[in-house]
Structures are given as structure tokens and as C-alpha cells.
Chains A and B, each alone.
Chain A
Amino acid sequence: KAGVTQTPRYLIKTRGQQVTLSCSPISGHRSVSWYQQTPGQGLQFLFEYFSETQRNKGNFPGRFSGRQFSNSRSEMNVSTLELGDSALYLCASRPPIGGRYQETQYFGPGTRLLVL
């Protein structure tokens, strides 16, 4: 079974621009979470989507948003980019409820965003 895929893998933007990142979960997984990883703050939770609905949100400004489509694919958008948004953005999917691995998250390779 294919793993979580994220596109693009690398991205360079300038301050003030906006960016959209894409995530395709493992087939059959309906929950998708997003994380931001920076050297200073480590791995931080952004938000989680399930069945096209945002179910949980981390402590990030409104410039960070996301959505999920009916096929469980998810996108996150960052508007008005700032230098501090440079980070590795990770997407993770989770199996359906029921079973030993229901709470296990499987991560993609990430999108590395550089804001200049």
C-alpha cells in the first residue's frame, strides 16, 4: 500500500506571497493532520481534518488554513508568508477507528518551504 504523499517536496517563496501544499493520505485513511517543524519550535500540530471537517486546531494564526476533499486528500494554505514560516510541513494520516492501530499516525516525507 502506498504511503502518505506530499507535493511539492520543496518550495521557495517570498514574503507576502501565499502557498498551497497538498497531501494524499494512505488509501482508506480518512483522517489527515498537519504539522510544522522548525529548528526552534520542533514539531507542532497545525490542524486535523476528518470527513472534510476540521476537528482540531493548534495554536497558529489564521493565515494558516486547510481543507479536505471528499477523497480524503487535503491541502493547507499559508497566506501572507513571513520569514518565520520557513519550515518542514508534515502531513499524517490515520487508519479508520477500530483496531490496534487506530491512533497511529503515518507521516509523509514533508514539504520543505523556504520563505525569502
Chain B
Amino acid sequence: DAKTTQPPSMDCAEGRAANLPCNHSTISGNEYVYWYRQIHSQGPQYIIHGLKNNETNEMASLIITEDRKSSTLILPHATLRDTAVYYCIVRSWGEGYSTLTFGKGTMLLVSP
């Protein structure tokens, strides 16, 4: 799986949009971008994933650049409960194995 680079920490004011970047310059054609988050001492929570098209669900939006070398996770109206470590993971489909390789992620702090 391709490696990812994320900023170690970010701040966001409550109610504002949080834009979390991820660089994955070595991504290959069959690799998807996944985002998970982990609120302190809880299990990681799946947020969203995509291949090349932008994706949106009830939690967030995922914007993937046209060359697929980077992506941005957008939390449109951040709340205090969105304070967590956010992990960007790139992995292939159809390998037959479901291993996730977690990096250090981005610690997002949402403040009042």
C-alpha cells in the first residue's frame, strides 16, 4: 500500500469547516483512499473512502485531486465531538487481505 503524509496536528473553531489534507504521491491505480478517526481511547471509526471521484456522506466529504496524489477530508461544520486523530490510509482492493496500515494521523482539536 502507498504511504501517506499528514500534518501532525490542526486546530479548528467550532462551527467552521475542518479541512484535513493527506499526501499520497505514490498511490497506484487500484488503490483507494480511506479515512478513519479515533476519538480518545475508543476504536477507530470509518468515515469515508474513494477512488478518484469526490465522495460525500453524512459525516464528511472527500476531495481527491485529479492526479490522485493528494486528498482532503472536509468536516463541513466541526463540533467539539469531532476532536480526534484522523487517519488517511491508502490500500488496494481485492487483495484478499484486509490489513490496514495506520500512520500517525492528524490530531484535530476543535475549540469553542
Contact = CB atoms under 8 A, between A and B. Distances in A.
A, B in one complex: yes
A18 B97 CA distance: 28
A5 B24 CA distance: 33
Q: Interface of chain A, helix or strand or loop or mixed?
A: strand
A81 interface: no
Q: Interface of chain B, helix or strand or loop or mixed?
A: loop
Interface residues of B, number: 20
A88 interface: yes
B42 A31 contact: no
Interface of A: 4, 31, 33, 35, 42-45, 48, 55-56, 58, 88, 90, 92, 94, 102-110, 112
Given A45-B100, A92-B98, A110-B42, 19 more contacts: A33-B99, A42-B102, A43-B44, A45-B99, A48-B98, A55-B96, A56-B97, A58-B99, A90-B43, A92-B100, A102-B93, A103-B34, A103-B98, A104-B46, A107-B43, A107-B44, A109-B42, A109-B43, A110-B41
